[in-house]
Amino acid sequence: MKVTLLSHTPEPEKAVACAARLCYASVSPDQLLEGMTEQKASDFVEMLASLGHESPIEHASFTFAVEGVSRSLLAQITRHRIATFSVQSQRYVSMEDFPYVTPPAVANNPRAAALFQEAMERDRAAYDAISQALYEEAYEALLAQGLPEKQAASAARKQAGEDARFVLPNACTTQFIMTMNARSLLNFFRLRCCRRAQWEIRELAREMLRLVCEAAPTLFAAAGPACYRGSCGEGKMSCGRSGEVRAEYADIHARAEAVCRARRAAGRED
């Protein structure tokens, strides 16, 4: 898995603070921004968090590139509706010799790992055979319609991939670019950083959290699973290890804050 924070709202905490203050100000946004230092913005964002006033943080958005994750994860993450996704197409991109994700529990069990690998190889062979059979039929039909050979070959390959992909497993990897605003991210982290979340999307959520904490530490100061700054919402399904979870996420936040301090110090030296 590879996660990259491609871009985000410039000075996200200032943007949020300005948006929130505008609701009660008689001056223009430009005037609000004039005296908005980094510290003032941070203090204002902290106050918003203490009041539970979340709508202004929707003005800050973050765009991630995610690679090397399974189609199973894709099915989970697209359930988070307040986000924008651009996903690699299995219709137009050949999945010949496709890479795949092996769950840790499978990888650590020699018998399961061998069976899993055999299943992936069968799926690869089936995809290639189905794709070739469909390609040959479509190619001949397109030639008969009078299409030039090169154009017929390209169109036939796309047609073949469109239906051959149905045999591909959930383990098949994909990549996508995703944009979420800060409020949606807080909800995403509450749900997907929880130890009850599926392992792959939990790993993704942790890495996304680390990246946004380095970009906007105050905005995401309380970000993490529900039990990080509150109580567990899983009821009888709780992992029962909230103390460990709080320590884990406190460490993530501390490391991100250290990165921010180093960055600010380097900026002052420049």
Annotated catalytic residue within 192, 196, 241, 246: 192
Indicate if 183 belongs to the active site.
Answer: no
Q: Mind spelling out the 3-state secondary structure of the chain? A: CEEEEEEECCCHHHHHHHHHHHCCCCCCHHHHHHCCCHHHHHHHHHHHHHHCCCHHHHHCEEEEEEEEEEHHHHHHHCCCCCCEEEECCCCCCCCCCCCECCCHHHHCCHHHHHHHHHHHHHHHHHHHHHHHHHHHHHHHHHHHCCCCHHHHHHHHHHHHHHHHHHHCCCCEEEEEEEEEEHHHHHHHHHHHCCCCCCHHHHHHHHHHHHHHHHHCCCCCCCCCCHHHHCCCCCHHHCCCCHHHHHHHHHHHHHHHHHHHHHHHHHHHHC
Q: Which residues are catalytic?
A: 192
